[in-house]
Structure 1
């Protein structure tokens, strides 16, 4: 495949290097949990035709131990901030439980979500700098990243990273969720739920080795502080990793994550938590485009020169108190700090077969304060039982970004493709091009009513959001500064209805909206219009009572207006794409279909079209029509000669995509095979109980397809193998 050659000074896809990235909002999504729906709801009016309902439970960490033992989570708080059975939630929700994460040997967030319906990964090839994720044709990488119900924001370049070992589960809410969480992508959100203290005693240590020379050690301890008192709980999780991944991309990480829970009485719970993480990756992971326009199997940068070092710290708490009269107050607060330093090489031109490369440097520092206050009330109006939620949230961010580069290429960085040699060194450029100081404040007031009327479930909610953002951009060479400010407000809403049949079938319909005030500027210098989203959704869920099976089929119509696209990377000029319409269907199954046999299956068809503006009638870049996946995992039972052995295999398919909105060239379809195997040595002798060995292989066939996206080209991840040994007692 041939692709036009570009000589960009920065080969980082769609990162906003010269102006503060889209105005982001405080967002909260509470984690999911799992119990069956067989008890009367608190406060429910009893009558002869009343339906047995699950209690609505709200806690600091959603989910319970039963969900960790299945791939089919039964509860979700993401769509309503009220912990509700998934089968009774009139929205499309996917949950990746801890059991599924362990079965598939997940090593990053991209691996965690890629077996979920409507989720696309790999749009920038293998790019471990950021968790690149699309939902329903919309990029949620920067606008849909959440941790424990609070957004992990993005402004200029740097992003908070999350290691899956530190998580209890990952949940995906599809479609607009601005009604509860403020500004963001219409595609949805990905919320990562941290491991927090448990009453169950957990003691786990482990080691891992894999591609390429990737060595890791990890530990996880939790339980009551005192054996005789369960009012104080603790948890501490950590890991240390050194090594590389494919393409000689660094993959070093150090993480420590402590937390403590105090429950002075049955009505009060207070959890304080923190984390400190240091990550080293590479800043330019793109493939080199040769002098004839072909994508080459060479790094555009040099792995010895290149680095992206990120240090991040987070500290926060979750507080909950239940008052008499059916009122519960909750507060979720967090402060986050991030510091990033990066440098890389990129091709500026060619002399015959020699790539003439120059160096670039990036610095980014971000501070974020967030708080979400909620008051929940339960009451009845006649035969209808209400759970009413009122909320006020606030976020404040500040970001300082700097960018520098060599004015010309340096002979020391030349790369001869006929005699490829890596291992160059040299100085880091000063921040001689631009500096950006940006700040953002968001305040939101929201309300949502969740209604139970016989077998009907209704949700109705609205939110008013106010966003204020300012940006000061300095061009260092001319010492000129451009000041800009943004004040926007918007109203968002969400409505849904679901009917729950006794046999576990639940048809539903929903409507939701989103908005995202952007700060990108057009060629005329004016700020682009805010992006807005609107979705209609119709579907059916099926969960046979008493089973660990959850099936869903959904059809949706999702429209985004004024979507910004980068048109000139050298000057940071954007344009509104106009309107993009995504229409599709999604089928998903997460099920334990027999003793020891789990299946996760997903299929999504998405027709994405630019319906207004430039290139109307074309499809957006890297947006496939078809995505499918299947994962099957089987654990041999006690009566089997292979008891203790677990085997798993997966298939992933992504259809062909256009390389740009011009629709002049295509990326090939991708097809990958994954496999996993583990053995519990307790099957040999009970004295080895808790000792487990695992081997996980991703992309067995080692297929490395090229992915080009609006002028930037990347190679897919090759075969990746990890072997681990864990002991839990």
Structure 2
């Protein structure tokens, strides 16, 4: 029997193909009478029809609008105000939809692969989650945001963002608690989703590529009423694909309707989405011997499936409904309210590797996991922005009150699976009994009151001061036989400060200080204080005169404190005397020096060390943190001649060596990967062909122990055809 999902997928794919096939002829017919008057006949009698050119008036960029080209100039992620990127005293990267399209990035993590300070391949090639580290700290549980509101994960109840639905992806490095409340110190990723705007260009697209990948997508919008006060947008995608791992698919349905109404002083934007993912465990857990170094029978194949077909499947359904309201009381006083309800449900079962049973025989031990989890999230952020002067000093004062409420229903069980000959796999082994790992309900709540003042004085100086008080609580009920309940209540104050100097030639040096806090879950009868983070950052940004570009450099010293570690007097207890230090240097630049050419370069040096610890790892480096990463990417499009619209791009990514276990006993070797693409735009059509990991390098992205190493993405080729009008 064909499922409803299969019917919907087939209908959307066929519908997109049908529309794409007939769009050009219908458009040409519609233009016949208009163009016939201007068509010219040459001396041979051949009629030449003028080229159809799609033009859209370039609008001034805002914090939520499309990026004009590749170089962003505005961002609201760091300050929640319309502050130019060059004048923001924090390290930020912005990747717009144009760049995502140019590289045909399939995920938010792929979109950030050419940005400094982030490691998006934390657990290798994975179709389930957005795993990432920023400045050496894992951020995926609390560091993922959609339209400025957090999408917090717990256990396997995890949201994932769709790259095609993103207008811009913004990476803010360093502590962020003053603006956003509880968060780990590394930073956050904020995905600004596509929403209605004037002069929007519509598109439909088809995509095909490696591993039997097929995808249809559309992005349409416009005016609902004649005066343009009500705009709509509808973005959708259906994907039917395999993966580089045998027997694991990667299928998706995504639909995101949005609506905007505005008049002279009020604006209301409604943002919704539905997403359904059907996939599995594409990132196998593999031993270091066999991936980092050769086993007696050679290296483990990249495409091997270590699970059991009868006990494998990952199904996620997520949805959200929210709005962004803005009202100008006067030219200097604006109220904003952003709110959202989000839901995610994950049903997952898998068999995964857990180390060699017999390395000489090539047999792998395996374990079982079964989980069913869901989460409800309500978030609301109220902001009042006031602009006023005190003498010759201008103030932009932002005060805010935000609230978050999460409900998690979590169940997970584990067991032991049959061994597998990993070089000659045969499936169908008996699945053992499962033991409950946890079965609980968790309620998380956070209330925050914050204020930020951006003070402009002496024409060239801007001082930013901010502070926040948070109150949070966590209630947990164990649904096992014990029925145990626990409750943790925390409160914390966070502060930040920044100072920039704006020169007349585009250079803006800055210095900043920022803090973070993260509540720590209780363990048994032990309750803990929140973890804290403090960062000092010194940097500079440069906007060249004469062409679009932005160069950023930053030096930082970041400390994560109150980390739980073993109690030296009782091995069964924990104390909060641990500390991790991250310090380093980052450089990132994006330039469009001449029309048609864009270049992007990034380099990161990150020295991370466990500076205080009672578990024997003091002085060591946490796993999965390369000291050096670098990347270079460029795209050039011909601007004239018979091949006008033809473009090429190429990039290289270097990932330095990193330790593969907590004792630093072995390293994951460094690797260099190459990407390339070609594209051609003519008469409303865009044709593209991109290859990721062009040389098909076999590489290990990270290891989190001797029995847990993860292959990175192999060569992936994607072809796209889009039609725009």
Q: Does the TM-score normalized on the shorter chain lie above 0.5? A: yes
TM-score normalised by structure 2 residue count? 0.85
Q: 1:576 to 1:282 in 2, by over 3 A?
A: farther
Pairs within 5 Å for 1:208-247:
208-226=207-225, 228-247=226-245
Assess, with a 3 A threshold, how the Cα gap between structure 1 residues 420 and 283 changes in structure 2: closer, same or farther.
Answer: closer
Aligned counterparts of 2:340 and 2:160: Cα–Cα separation in 1? 16
The alpha-carbon deviation at position 431 of structure 1 amounts to 7.6
Spell out the pairing of 1:438-453 with structure 2 (5 A cutoff).
438-453=442-457
CA distance in 1, matches of 2:566, 2:637: 49
1:696 corresponds to which of 670, 674, 690? 690
Shifted more, 441-450 versus 430-439: the winner is 430-439
Shift of 1:610: 1.0
| Contact map agreement 2:215 2:239 (CA 8 A) in 1 | yes
* Cα distance in 2 for residues equivalent to 1:573 and 1:73: 49
How many angstroms does 1:157 deviate by?
1.8
The answer on 1:324 being equivalent to 2:327 is no
1:350 paired to 2:351: no
Cα offsets for 1:340-365 (capped at 9, x unmatched): 00000134673765445453211101
Preserved CA contact (<8 Å) 2:629 2:656? yes
Q: Specify the alignment match of 1:678 in structure 2.
A: 679
Deviation of residue 421 (structure 1)? 3.2
Q: Against the structure 1 CA distance between its residues 426 and 574, is the aligned structure 2 distance closer, same or farther, given a 3 Å change threshold?
A: farther
CA distances 1:595-621 after superposition (whole Å, capped 9, x unpaired): 100011000111111111141211111
User: Cα distance 1:721–1:575, how it changes in 2: closer, same or farther (>3 A)?
Assistant: farther
Conserved 8 A contact 1:170-1:192: yes
Match of 1:21 in 2: none
Q: Of residues 463, 488, 491 in structure 2, which corresponds to 1:489?
A: 491
Distance across 2 between alignment mates of 1:170 and 1:418? 40
1:705 aligns with one of 691, 699, 711? 699
| Residue 652 in structure 1 maps to residue 653 in structure 2 | yes
Equivalent residue runs for 1:51-62 within 5 Å: 62=63
Higher relative contact order, chain-length normalized (CA < 8 Å, sep 6+): 1
Partner of 1:509: 511
CA–CA distance in structure 2, aligned partners of residues 270 and 465 of structure 1: 28
Where 1:642 maps in the other structure, the secondary structure is coil
Residues 301-310 or 148-157, more deviating = 301-310
Partner of 1:375: 384
Pairwise CA distance, 1:576:
5.9
Q: 1:416 aligns with which of 413, 421, 431?
A: 421
Q: Is the contact between residue 514 and residue 534 of structure 1 (CA under 8 Å) also seen in structure 2?
A: yes
Distance 1:591 1:58 in 2: 19
After the TM superposition, which residues 79-118 of structure 1 pair with which residues of structure 2 at under 5 Å, given as runs? Answer: 79-118=78-117
1:690-729 superposed Cα distances (whole Å, 9 cap, x missing partner): 1111111100111122331135221111111111111011
Cα gap change, 1:306 to 1:72, in 2 (>3 Å): same
Match of residue 361, structure 1, among 362, 370, 384: 370
Deviation (angstroms), 1:95: 0.6
Partner of 2:176: 177
1:138 and 1:187 in contact (8 A); partners too: yes
Change (3 A) 1:418 1:723: closer
**In the superposition, relative to structure 1, how do residues 540 and 80 fare at CA in structure 2: closer, same or farther (>3 Å)?**
same
Moved more, 346-355 or 376-385: 346-355
- Structure number with bigger Rg: 2
TM-superposed deviation, 1:559: 0.7
- Summarize the Cα distance change of 1:565–1:161 in structure 2 as closer, same or farther, 3 Å threshold: farther
2:714 to 707, 712, 718: 718
Q: CA deviation at 1:290?
A: 9.0
How far does residue 564 in structure 1 lie from its aligned partner after superposition? 5.4
- Give the distance between the partners of 1:63 and 1:273, measured in 2 at CA: 13
How far residue 657 of structure 1 moved from its aligned partner, in angstroms, is 0.4
Query: What is the Cα deviation at residue 482 of structure 1?
Result: 2.8
Q: Describe the superposition over 1:624-681 as per-residue Cα deviations: whole angstroms up to 9, x where unpaired.
A: 1111001100001113x4322111001001110011221111111121001111111x
Look up the match of 1:150: 149
Give 2:394's aligned residue: 385
Unaligned runs of 5+ residues in structure 2 are 1-58
SS of equivalent to 1:100: helix
The aligned residue for residue 268 of structure 1 is: 266
Q: For residues 564 and 719 of structure 1, do their structure 2 counterparts lie closer, same or farther at Cα, with a shift above 3 Å needed?
A: farther
Shift of 1:429: 6.9
Unaligned runs of 5+ in 1: 1-56, 683-688
Aligned mates of 1:552, 1:328 — CA distance in 2: 31
CA contact (8 A) 2:175 2:514 kept: yes
Please, what is the CA RMSD of the aligned residues?
2.5
User: Is it true that 1:468 corresponds to 2:467 in the alignment?
Assistant: no
The alignment of Structure 1 onto Structure 2 pairs a total of residues equal to 646
Give the deviation of 1:330 after TM superposition.
Answer: 0.5
Contact 2:130 2:140 in 1 (8 A): yes
The answer to whether the 8 A contact 1:253-1:279 is kept is yes
Whole-Å Cα distance in 2 between the matches of residues 340 and 426 of structure 1?
25
CA distance in 2, matches of 1:291, 1:594: 49
Q: What is the aligned partner in structure 1 of residue 540 from structure 2?
A: 540
Q: Distance in 2 between matches of 1:380 and 1:129?
A: 50
Q: Secondary structure at the match of 2:224?
A: strand
User: C-alpha distance in 1, partners of 2:623/2:365?
Assistant: 29
Note if contact 1:185-1:516 (Cα within 8 Å) is conserved in structure 2. Answer: yes
Question: Superposed, which structure 2 residues align to 1:156-171 within 5 Å?
Answer: 156-171=155-170
* Map of 2:193 onto structure 1: 194
Contact 1:284 1:306 in 2 (8 A): no
Offset of residue 246 of structure 1: 1.3
TM-score by length of 1: 0.84
